Amino acid sequence: MRIERTLRELYESDPERADAVAFGRRTGPSRRGFLGGIGLTAMRAAVGGPIVFAASMPAGLIPAALAQEGKRTRRLQLPGKDPSLILLSERPLVAETPEALLDDDTTPTSRFFIRNNGDPPEPTDQPDAWKITIDGEVNRPLELTLGELKAKARAVTRRLLLECAGNGRSFFVPRTEGEQWANGGAGCAEWTGARVADVIRAAGLKPSASFSAHYGADVDPSGDPTKIVLSRGVPIRKLMDENNLIAWQMNGQPLEPMHGFPVRLIVPGWPGSLSAKWLTRIWLRDKPHDGVGMGGTSYRVPVKPMLPGSAANEQNFVDLESMPLRAIITHPADGTRLSASTREIKLRGAAWAGDYAVRSVDLSMDFGASWQHATLSPPKNRYDWQRWMAALKLPSDGYFEIWSRATDQRGIMQPHVAGNWNPQGYGANPMHRIAILVG
């Protein structure tokens, strides 16, 4: 116990020294030739067994078995929610889905992550009377009730991935502000609703409309009703994408209170913060939106790389649009122990790439020295995730790390570590790693 904590802490603060302790050497590009010292014994003890591919382990790498943050032990206790969801914040309520709970093709509502920035409104007992305003740069401003929308609009159902812009944030070094998500600030549910574009067309888009502004009915934890919790928007080309929905059902049921009951936006592929819950208004503007969560370094990433940990120059930031690509291993769970002599491991997972398609998912069990293609399923519809499967042959008992890495249709791959550090920690998408012990 003690040694795990010490090594993990050491890897977080000083990976080179942690290496030296674990592998019995000072620093250098490779561990080859340094194995077998007293340090390797410590490392073996810490990860639970011999590291089968230790020779190809990169210097300074925190072993996956030690990488899990000690603080991620609080669980969400909420009726209707899986008790294994990780509680990241109580108020506002934020809960992450452990990767292994994203093993269903369609994420059940009980396992879907929650990201609130304020306090949700009291659930209404008259959902069909809920009002949604479409105004601003339109020919005929609309005030629709949800009942009217359901009656008038052509409802569609799509499986769409929703992902928090901060997903992966905990992988940044140094640590950034914000909720410390691993890879589970994402979920893929079936959403039913009206196409945003159909509703906007009914209001008549003026040529002057260039940007949207989204509003919800949640309230600031201070209780001040004039304080807006979050109000973000997108350029019109994205707003009018046929995959955006004004949704009133999730997985065939009315929305749950925490997911925006009675109605929300779903803007897939871009930061989840655009998908306003408890939707009250879409305002069409003739210039970029300046609401809460726009500008500065909020939901924005540097176009010129910055020195990690340094002060930001906001001039160098642009809105994060398409989310980065990611492949996760959903089975087996990180830390799984298999019986001695197990020689094959079956893996499953999911991959997605914001506005893009995933071309391939590859797996490595030797710290990236060699890779094997997974079998990748096509998406059900655009902005669905893609499920993958693979089987790896294990050469012996011992400690393994399995890494998954996606490549998108443009040939872009996930990096080994979180890149393009930024003060609020957006866009971290290093490869997913799980620790497996055989025997």
Ligand X SMILES: Nc1nc2c(c(=O)[nH]1)N[C@H]1C(S)=C(S)[C@@H](COP(=O)(O)O)O[C@H]1N2
Binding site for Mo ion (CB under 5 A): 115, 164, 272-273
Q: Is the peptide bond before 141 cis (omega within 30 degrees of 0)?
A: no
Q: Which residue has the tokens 């020779």?
A: 55
Give, for 331, the enclosing helix (H) or strand (E). strand 326-331
Which CB, 117 or 364, lies closer to ligand X? Answer: 117
| Of the candidate residues 22, 164, 234, 267, the single one contacting ligand X (CB under 6 A) | 164
What is the three-class DSSP state of 48?
A: coil
Verify binding: residue 196, ligand X, rule CB under 6 A.
no
Select from 196-204, 269-277, 283-291, 394-402 the region that touches ligand X (CB under 6 A). Answer: 269-277
Q: Which does 117 bind (CB under 5 to 8 A by kind): ligand X, Mo ion, none?
A: ligand X
Verify binding: residue 192, ligand X, rule CB under 6 A.
no
Residues 157 and 192 sit within 8 Å (Cβ to Cβ): yes
Site residues (CB under 6 A) for ligand X, limited to 347-406: none
386: nearest Cα among 366, 414, 420, 357: 357
Verify binding: residue 113, ligand X, rule CB under 6 A.
yes
Where helices occur in 128-260 by DSSP H, the ranges are: 146-152, 196-203, 236-239
Q: Considering the complex, what minimum distance in angstroms separates the CB of residue 37 from ligand X?
A: 46
Q: Considering the complex, what minimum distance in angstroms separates the CB of residue 230 from Mo ion?
A: 9
Verify binding: residue 229, ligand X, rule CB under 6 A.
yes
* 237 CA to centre of own chain: 24
183: nearest Cα among 199, 192, 170: 170
Q: Considering the complex, what minimum distance in angstroms separates the CB of residue 423 from Mo ion?
A: 16
Select from 31-39, 53-61, 108-116, 304-312 the region that touches ligand X (CB under 6 A). Answer: 108-116
Q: Which residue has the tokens 């490595």?
A: 364
* 22 CA to centre of own chain: 32
Give, for 162, the enclosing helix (H) or strand (E). strand 155-163
Residues 345 and 332 sit within 8 Å (Cβ to Cβ): yes
What is the three-class DSSP state of 413?
A: strand
| Of the candidate residues 24, 121, 216, 332, the single one contacting ligand X (CB under 6 A) | 216
Name the residue with the smallest CB distance to Mo ion: 164
Q: Considering the complex, what minimum distance in angstroms separates the CB of residue 298 from ligand X?
A: 11
| Of the candidate residues 259, 285, 289, 433, the single one contacting ligand X (CB under 6 A) | 259
| Of the candidate residues 85, 199, 276, 347, the single one contacting ligand X (CB under 6 A) | 276
Verify binding: residue 159, ligand X, rule CB under 6 A.
no
| DSSP symbols for 228-269 | -S-----BHHHHT-TT-EEEEEETTEEPPGGGTTT-EEE-TT
Q: Considering the complex, what minimum distance in angstroms separates the CB of residue 305 from ligand X?
A: 25
Q: Considering the complex, what minimum distance in angstroms separates the CB of residue 323 from ligand X?
A: 11
Spatial separation of the C-alpha atoms in residues 172 and 182, rounded to whole Å: 10
Residues that bind ligand X (CB under 6 A): 112-118, 162, 164, 216, 218, 229-230, 259, 272-273, 275-278
